[in-house]
Amino acid sequence: MKSTLKRTWAEIDLDALTYNYHTIRKHIGPDVRFLGVVKADAYGHGSLQVATKLQELGADYLAVSSIDEALELRFNGITMPILILGHTPKEQVDRLICFNITQAVTCEAKALEYSEEAVKYGGTLKVHIKVDTGMSRLGYLCEGDYFQHGVNGIVHACNLPGLDAEGIFTHFAVADEEGADELEYTRHQFQLFTDVIRSAEEQWGHEFRIRHCANTGATAKYPETYLDMVRPGLLLYGYGDYAKQLGLRPVMSLKTVVSTIKIYPAGTHISYGGIFETTHSTRIGVVPYGYADGFLRCLSNRYALMTAEGPAPVRGKICMDMCMIDLSDAPGVDVGDEVTIFGPDNSLEHMAEMAGTIPYELTCSVSKRVPRLFIENGQVVSKELLLRM
């Protein structure tokens, strides 16, 4: 670590990413394509570095949320197929075609716009048709009485000039949750999806080259849903119960240092609002990690950071740039010593459970002022700081 980075930093373990990729590949079998989801800066892990590693490893596709995320990868040497899951304005269709980026088509209006712009540009836009089977978000609605209307719309999109309907996909709403109702709902979504594919292909007279619906939960426990390609997100990064079941490794660790230590007498109120009061002589450490770095304030006075001598409870309210931890039971921890916020010895899942959220939100919340150090074979191979210097 350089001194300018010795504040709070994230370590991204590229060896763990490689291990997870190979483990998931083995789990899904050799005949299923692998799409790595790298939207939202690869859930805070660094989209360019993650995409570069997945490209080296032989992944088949990447998924992002927007054209800006796709172009960032294209401008930095990523040549493999990229699917945009979200909306792209019609004015950007020429760039999609120029940079060979695949676009999700979620309704008739967008299909018509994309077709018109592709024809105007004189090119062909590769698209994946999105089917809404129960997520109730994006996609052609095909449930119940809407089935034939939805299928007709999909076939119409497939036949539009300037569009190459390479794929069709849907998204499961509860595949990562346990329970009989969740199992039934996921199976219903999958059945509806396959019914739509069969009907659309019969009417269209062609087959979709890539059919995909398996997100993290489905990749872990519903092999019948793999079809042509899976889309692991959280699983790829090694978090959650399914990752543990498959023996995957967490890719990100978040660390900080003790910047100051003070000893306060009994009756001292700590931080804003004085919600914590010492009951005896208390050794308090200040660490430069606060809510501007992604430390959710709801964890004030509840969470514990991990030192070399064990957990150090957070005392008082979390501040914007720092928080206070109790080092009374860790007398050997000194100024400058590293502290783990989350990592193998202080799990992200535990932090998420305490915050009442999911690991995704916490990795995405690690702010841009927190440097990312990318580690491979025990060495820092690159660094990324998203502040403008």
Residues assigned a catalytic role:
39, 272
Cα–Cα dist 221/102, whole Å: 28
Per the structure block, which two tokens stand in for 125? Answer: 């836009």
Q: Tell me whether residue 137 is annotated as binding.
A: yes
What 90-94 contacts at long range (C-beta under 8 Å, 24+ apart), as own/partner pairs, is 90/114, 90/116, 90/117, 91/117, 92/67, 93/117, 93/118, 93/121, 93/125, 94/121, 94/123
Q: Tell me whether residue 252 is annotated as binding.
A: no
Cα–Cα dist 242/256, whole Å: 28
Per-residue HEC secondary structure of 2-65 comes to: CHHHCCEEEEEEHHHHHHHHHHHHHHHCCCCEEEEECHHHHHCCCHHHHHHHHHHHCCCEEEEC
Asked whether 242 and 48 are in contact (CB, 8 A), the reply is: no
DSSP 8-state class, residue 388: -
Cα–Cα dist 132/202, whole Å: 20
Q: Which residues contact 336 (CB under 8 A, 6 or more apart)?
A: 257, 258
Q: Which residues contact 199 (CB under 8 A, 6 or more apart)?
A: 147, 148, 151
Cα–Cα dist 14/380, whole Å: 10
- Enumerate the known binding-site residues for substrate: 137, 320
